[in-house]
Structure 1
């Protein structure tokens, strides 16, 4: 489950769960407190709504007492003049937050409670006969009084008008209601705490495990240990984060391995360059010493020595230029000059140059072009020529046949132009064929100095072809020869619709 979904569930739960559970507990507590109120105050038929209407509930407390007074007024009104009976009856009302008030004509003859609001109450008392003595609901006196009164009218023995009132303080709260309010507050707090605890535990549990894994992974990466695997246990945000973390680890590991490989190749390059430079330097030094020592004592020897020194210096210059070029290509510092080039015209010129050069070196050269005259490509002419020359030079470097042969073929292969350079040299072993375009790689493990080179010629070729958006590969048979292939995308003119 995604973290977003968990948070939505948590949001809904933190609203709905406390409401439902709180309502259940409040209902149960309400029923319990109602049963206690009915038991303590001898009531019947009370409902939960009574808690929301305290005035009605306080009125219910004195219903029985009101009926007793009404019956007493009908059957034996003389008791209503007896102070002892009034005291006893008033005592029974105290636990119901009520007291008696007796009026004779307009004079208060009995007050069952030293209420400071008595004046406000007396001022609002209804007159004799103004209130239905059969009414058990009573009336509410507001203002400063804030009481509920129930009135029973009767006549004294001297025929004076009399009224006895049950006065109930609606501001007072019976203990059960007060306890119910406290219980509700406690229930709400407990439900909120319980809900929050469950949700926090649920979310924390879903977060803790992936975080712990990532902490361990981060520690391993910090310590340089990249040989581990971070598996995602769930398809959520943390699972995706674990996958991203694992991808980062793999990239870091690949980068570290590539850096190690590059460091190894750099050391190998230094070794190769030292070896390749040492050979011409040694020759130059030897021939120069021969001249200094007078060994070249004839014009012919002097000319031979000087030409050898010149050729070895050119070899060193070519090697250094090749390394400089690769460095620029590898760091993308060579600005390519791409132009639309006709395929036939370009490769015809290349073939003419190669023919002259190879014939001077005793190599048979064949050129075959199968592309239509209108076919064009977008390329850097100079860099593409460098590709062809590097492949040809590489073929010559490993040529082992007395009758050397190199063929150049240009073919139309759909959306691409395919160029093939075939030689009849010694060939390349199958195990080496996939690595020949790697930088500094040389199939000549023994580093026979007669082969020379830094091992980056074909890597330069691959880099240039890839920068042209093409692809290069090779096929070879040992003892038979090698064929290098590369393809370049054709130039497609966009039709102009008017």
Structure 2
């Protein structure tokens, strides 16, 4: 449906207005210049410039009027000459009698002989034939006994008016038209420059991010196509902001739910552990003892999963307290390894420890976070690489970093294991490593997994 008011605010309407004004201005200006030039030409050349006559018509008219003259006196001939001069101001006329005497002249600029001989007459006719000025010779009254009269008109008088105007004022007209075209080009340039500026402003608003990570809104000053685009962009930004706020609220609720659920699950789990311990005190068959041992292992696994889930939720909500301080990291890792040594030894692991001092053993880290990292990695080895029965903990120093390397000979992370929950444990490791400005690499294959905890050296 066509809406006139909406169309009038559009860029198309504005550009059509520019085109219309340009055409109108060109026509008006050209018409004004033409009238101005014609008025000047009239003053300089008379009415002939507005209506040109062909030479044959002038010649026929001269012969006809000369033939109709009856009284052959100087006064009559002079009146005839004056009549023609009104029509052709630049024309020159004279009368030569039968005996060759120059009788009457009008506007003759050249020197003519007072007595015309046949030889001079013949020479005059030969020189004027087809030349400039245009010359007409006719016998007065149509009888050679009365002599002949001559009219000479410059040939530029017979130039077509438009050609005459163009030759005289063509440069002026050309400059005027060029000036009008340049004016139109400048107006069009300014019009599109304004459009380009507004589009670049919109692009800049799309690239700039607010504190919430979303684009900033833009001021809408005009309700044309670009203004409607800006309005749609602002609407999109508002919808994105509302969506992000809803997502944050939902995420917050989800984290609180997980944290509360993790806390609530620990209470019955503690009771189950207490009951299983009481049952283990009773006299049980060998099959019952194995069942109790499996139950105890499952309870420990569930407890670890709940702990990881709760820690991950707190980390994602930025509520896991971080307190960095400088510690002797080599001593810290040795203490961690000593805690786990008996656990791996009990499971029959081949333990390979090779820890050497770094150039700088002081690392600025949170000891609780770093301890949690190694605990999670050792738990993963114990649960998911138990088949390899090997764990190695070594140090590595290069030009760019110092690192601890934890290696096992399990089936690799791409293969399934009987135990679950490795993903969330490694996610916690990733968040904590990056939170302490450290880095880590994982290289896993069917022959085992190697993990590096790295601290880059400051140059």
- Identify the structure with the greater helix proportion: 2
TM-score (norm 2): 0.43
TM-score (norm 1): 0.40
